[in-house]
Structure formats: C-alpha cells, structure tokens
Amino acid sequence: MKNLNKLVFTFLALHCLQVNAQNKYPVIVIHGGAGVIERGMLSEVDEAAINEVLQLALDSGYAVLDRGGSALNAIEKSIIILENSPYFNAGHGAVMNYDGRHELDASIMDGSNLEAGAVAGISTVKNPILAAKAVMLNSPHVLLSGEGAEIFAKSENLELVDNSYFTTEKIKKSWSESKSQLKLKGEGKSGPKPEKFGTVGAVAVDREGNIAAGTSTGGMMNKKHGRIGDSPLIGAGTYADNSTCGISCTGHGEYFIRVGVAKEISDQMAFADKSLDEAVQFTLHKKLTGMGALGGLIGLDKSGNVVMEFNTSGMYRGYRNQNESIVRIYAD
C-alpha cells in the first residue's frame, strides 16, 4: 500500500510538472500607444530612449512576478514607469485639453475576483494608476471623476502635483499646432482625428495564474467639454478575468466605447470558444477596422499567450516571459 501511495504521489508530481511546463507564465505585456509611428519619424536619440523606457517598464514589472509577486502589483510597477516618462501620453507628458490643462484617466482590474477601480478627469495626481487602484481597494465604487476623485486621492495620501508637472515643451508645441489646425479646419461632428493614441497599459499573469490589466492616459489632444474616452471604462479600454484574458486598449476611444472592445474579446472566448488571437482578430481587424477606427491593444490569456495587435503603422509595445524579452515600435 505504501508503494502504491508513493507511485500515485510520483505520478501527480510529474503531472504537475508537465502542466507547469506547458504554462507560459509569469508573463507581462505592455504598450505605450499606437498610431502613425513610422521609421524616420523618430530621431535616433528618441527611439533609443523610448526603447529603454519600454524595457525598463517590462523588466521592473517582470521582476515583481519573478519574485512571486502579484500580477496587480506588476502592472502597477510598469505603468508608473510609463506615466513618469515624457515620451507617452500618460502622467508627465500627457496631452493638453482645449483650455491648455491636463485631464488624466486610468483604470485597473483584478481578474481573480473581477474587482476594478478607475478615475477620470483628474488633474493633480502624479500617478493616476495609483488613484485607480486606491478606488478599487479602498472605496465601494468603481469609477470616480473630477473633483471627487481628487478629494479621494488626497484622503489616500497619494502624491499630488501642480497641473504644470504634466507639461513638457514638446506637448506645449503640439498643443499649439493642434489648436491652430482646429481653427483652420474646424472639428466637425466627430472632432479632430488624432494621429497618435499615447495611452499606456500593461497586462500580466502571475505564478498563481491570476491576471490583471491596467490603462492610463491623458486622453485626446485639445479635447473639450470634459471628454472621457475608453481608458477609464471597465469593459471598453480595460478588462481582466482569470477564466479568459486581460486586455488593455489604445485608440480612438469613442469607437472602443461603442464596441466595448475589452469585454467583447473576453466574451468571445467565454461564450464562442474562441482563442484570444481569434477574438482579437475579429474585434480589432474586422469590426473596428470596418468602422474606420484606429488603434490597438495588448492582451494575455489564462495560459500566458500574448497578443500585441494594432491597425496603425506602429505601436510602442513589448512583452517578457521566462524565455524571452521583446520590445518593438514599428509595424515592420
């Protein structure tokens, strides 16, 4: 009997090793926005700097996972680095609204329990992703906006800054040029069409198989009337569910909201038995592209399979697992 028990234990141990070997996690995938990003548009200095920041964000998030940390903490680590970089439209370096101020949005979701938190239209929180996480963990709500979100962030002792902290000379120049073009061309019903969607995001699956996703953005350049896009909306720009996938989007938010992109991808996996790649191909490359919507997304499924898809000429992106680490900018 003792020998039989030993054989059973050995079989189970070997089976677990085989299952673990098949899993590709821990893994993390990030993006820094999609759009008209073509070779020759970036200087060698800027291209090298962007690659360096993307790699740092990947390595920092993966280090959390490698130490046995949670997917939630890993994506927070990565997104903070991207928010602090002037190269992306999130945090320091965020675009300006029509009045020349910064209004920031962020969201985060824990796929292990479907808990989520988000903030919209905030202007003094240094790292919006931390405000979103605080909403998830320490409030009964999912989404806080404007002044109320600012008051909550202050009560959570998050680091606050003057709105001018988010401004860079490059953004001021782009804002001025964009505003001049608006006056010449007019906005039309759909508003100005941005050439780049600088939203940042991260998705991770940890050693326990838990998935988390987060997204942070400054929104659309010269946006008016308190406009809010898809990034802080759970199910549109961000979604995570251990049973299916984690998604973070970047693109023309009005379209991503109408489709409910992140949740639609998860639902296709749950109810139509599609793989992550199949669901993304349909939603992004058929549905959104057919609507004339531009953008991209990153995602992970429960087995650690990665997608980094976009229908523009480039997307700042990268992923890392136990076997490889890759950073890319252009489509080719």
Catalytic-role residue among 124, 199, 244, 312? 199
Contacts of 177 (CB under 8 A, 6+ apart): none
Beta strands in 97-160, from DSSP E residues, in sequence order:
104-110, 115-122, 143-145
CA distance linking residue 88 with residue 172, whole number of Å: 14
Residue type, 167: T
What is the rounded distance in angstroms from the CA atom of residue 300 to the CA atom of residue 87? Answer: 25
- Examine the residue annotation and report whether 312 is marked as an active-site residue of this protein: no
124-157 core/surface letters (b: 16 or more CB in 10 A; e: else): bbbbbbbbbbbbbeeeeebbbbeeebbebbeebe
C-alpha span between 7 and 22 (Å, rounded): 23
- Distance between CA 85 and CA 92 in Å, rounded? 6
Contact between 313 and 36 under an 8 Å Cβ cutoff? The reply is yes
Check: CB of residue 226 under 8 Å from CB of residue 99. no
Task: Identify whether the C-beta of residue 240 lies closer than 8 Å to the C-beta of residue 214.
Answer: no
CA 17 vs CA 10, 211, 242: distances in Å: 11, 21, 21
Q: Catalytic site residues?
A: 199
